[in-house]
Amino acid sequence: MMNRRSIQRVVAGVAAAGLTLGALAACGGESADTASPGTGETGEGTETAAAEEVTITWWHNATSGPLPAVWEKVAKDFEANNPGVTVEQTGYQNEDLQRTLIPNALASGDGPDLFQVWPGGEIRDQVANGYLMALDDAIPDTIAAVGATVNPWQVDGATYGIPFTFGIEGFWYNKDLFEQAGITTPPSTLAELNDAVTKLKAINVAPIAVGAGEKWPAAHWWYQFALHSCSPETLTTGAADFDFTDPCWVDAGTELVDFIASEPFQDGFLGTPAQTGAGSSAGMLANGQAAMELMGHWNAGVVGGLTPDEEVPEFLGWFPFPAIEGSAGDPNAALGGGDGFGCAADAPKQCADLLAYIMSEEVQKEFAASGSGIPTVAAAQDSLEDQNLKAVAEGLSQASFVQLWLDTEYGTTVGNAMNEGIVNVFADNGTPEDIVKRMQDAAATL
């Protein structure tokens, strides 16, 4: 007869063993291919794909604003037009998706089929690891429709991702506050920008809000100074060979140090978040505490989401980053980036079809009309209704040279080292030379 304690032990032992077995089973439980042979094929069977039961998992970064509804509709319509195909689409917060979810899912070999693909260093790593499907043979027309914008998503001549939106960075500003401060035209040179800062201080608003609590919004300032200090050739060699020996890279930091010294930013900017909450830099612009913010093409939606009525405010305007007088930089160069999708190497072939549908003129027009961003298919750009997006699209079309966000271009390792160096300068804790040295040191570890 077992006494109580030994019964407890046996129960605990069985539970522990069950737990272990469960864990092991979960590890080894690679389920069989979800695509089962079609059972109900009828008619001529011209389209065998139609009868196949396929599930496409789709991860994107649309979590707020009008975009989630657009993607939901795309998934439903695609399912309706392709019987047997189920599309499971999920939106995740952008940084979680980029830094944690997708890398981990790909490394585990159990990733989504269609997912956000970031150009530059990241797509190069993913292609080197064989994670992505080359799309050139599957959907050539779709790729052609996007034109040169697809270049950052190409590796060694093959296309591994297609951008559905692309835009450039510039100043989002409060027209009312500019008027109050007596600024009649948006600044087109750095001297005019400094002048505007002085005038805005006089009416007691923060001239420029920067979300330097997160590193990238601060880092973008240095990117802009580098873009307008270095010639396009220098920028291209920098990206290709990680060659940062040209003195213009240090000049960019020196210009940034001088600019920060004029105190254009809000108080306590080192702790300010960029895009979330009323206290963020976008929030300060939304509620009139700050007059300008340097931010990407998506910012109108973010600012709109932070106003009391959740509408994009009337006073919001946009102008491109001003030129720097007497520098080697191209005054019409712009810094930008976009969002694109790619298919996993082992995704069902319908994944490319879904991507082609997302990039179709019809969906691109819906995307543009929803105000989510600037579409990449030229024919869809007429559907832009939002004045600010139209301004950004015009800035993009006038740019003589478009440089991808530098941290994206250089990849995680160099990009992160660069951003760390830049925020040190913002905190008065590092030098312009230190930024370049960090980039070179990080590149040496690759």
Q: Phi, psi at residue 309, to the nearest 5°?
A: -95, 5
DSSP state string for 260-296: HHT--BPTTGGG--SSSSTTSHHHHHHTTSEEEEEE-
61 near other proteins, judged by CB under 8 A: no
In whole angstroms, the minimum distance from the beta carbon of 213 to other proteins comes to: 3
Integer Cα distance of 441 and 326 in angstroms:
30
Is 214 an interacting residue with respect to other proteins (CB under 8 A)?
Answer: yes
The correct pick among 218, 260, 282, 335 for binding other proteins (CB under 8 A) is 218
Stretch that binds other proteins, among 37-45, 227-235, 318-326, 419-427 (CB under 8 A): 419-427
Least Cα distance to 110 among 100, 102, 98 occurs for: 102
Q: Does 13 bind other proteins (CB under 8 A)?
A: yes
Nearest to 155 by CA among 188, 123, 200: 123
Contact 208, 170 (CB under 8 A): no
Tokens representing residue 285 in the block: 């612009």
Nearest to other proteins of 272, 376 (CB atom): 272
In the range 259-278, which residues lie near other proteins by CB under 8 A?
267-268, 270-273
Looking at 67-75, 118-126, 144-152, 371-379, which segment touches other proteins (CB under 8 A)?
A: 118-126
Q: Is 19 in the site for other proteins (CB under 8 A)?
A: yes
- 93 near other proteins (CB under 8 A): no
Q: Kindly write down the DSSP assignment for every residue of 380-414, as one continuous string.
A: GGGG---HHHHHHHHHHHH-SEEEE-HHHHHHHHH
- Percent helix, strand, coil in the chain, to 5, is 50, 15, 35
Counting residues that bind other proteins (by CB under 8 A) gives 48
- The C-alpha atoms of residue 263 and residue 175 are separated, in whole angstroms, by 21
445 touches other proteins by CB under 8 A: yes
Binding-site string for other proteins from residue 128 to residue 147, where x marks contact by CB under 8 A and - marks none: xx-x----------------
Within positions 277 to 306, which residues make up the interface with other proteins, using CB under 8 A?
A: 279
Determine if 39 is a binding residue for other proteins (CB under 8 A). Answer: no
Q: How far is the CB of 60 from other proteins (least distance, A)?
A: 20
Q: Round to whole Å and give the CA distance between 212 and 271.
A: 7
**Cβ contact 385:369 at 8 Å:** yes
Residues that bind other proteins in the complex, under the rule CB under 8 A: 1-3, 5-6, 9, 13, 16-17, 19-20, 23, 99-100, 103, 106-107, 122, 125-126, 128-129, 131, 212-215, 218, 267-268, 270-273, 279, 411-413, 416-417, 420, 423-424, 426-427, 429, 445-446
